[in-house]
């Protein structure tokens, strides 16, 4: 996944009518805001893991075992 793809996904996910902030993405993915910044800039070679998390967030699916 490229940084461009990650940025496009982040811009497409809305919270209260606005794109999801980096801090919100970090909280939902269980990573640091700094890691989100790196994903936005550099993308990731762990494609499947992040793409699954992104699809779950986009669909409103919560992590397994969490309410």
Q: What are 10-67's pLDDT values in tens digits?
A: 999 988 889 999 999 999 999 999 999 999 999 999 889 999 999 999 998 988 886 6
In a domain, 66, yes or no: no
- State residue 67's pLDDT score: 61
pLDDT over 90 percentage in the chain: 76
In a domain, 25, yes or no: yes
Round to whole Å and give the CA distance between 61 and 3.
Answer: 23
Q: How many domains does the chain have?
A: 1
* Half-sphere CA count of 57, side-chain side, radius 13 A: 23
In a domain, 64, yes or no: no
In a domain, 41, yes or no: yes
Q: Domain of 36?
A: 3-59
In a domain, 65, yes or no: no
In a domain, 67, yes or no: no
């Amino acid at each position: 996944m490229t940084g461009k793809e990650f940025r496009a996904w982040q811009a497409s996910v809305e919270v209260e009518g606005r794109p999801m902030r980096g801090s919100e993405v970090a909280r939902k993915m269980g990573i640091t805001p700094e890691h989100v910044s790196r994903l936005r800039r550099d993308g990731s070679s762990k494609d499947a893991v992040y793409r699954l998390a992104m699809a779950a967030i986009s669909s409103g699916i919560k992590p397994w075992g969490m309410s």
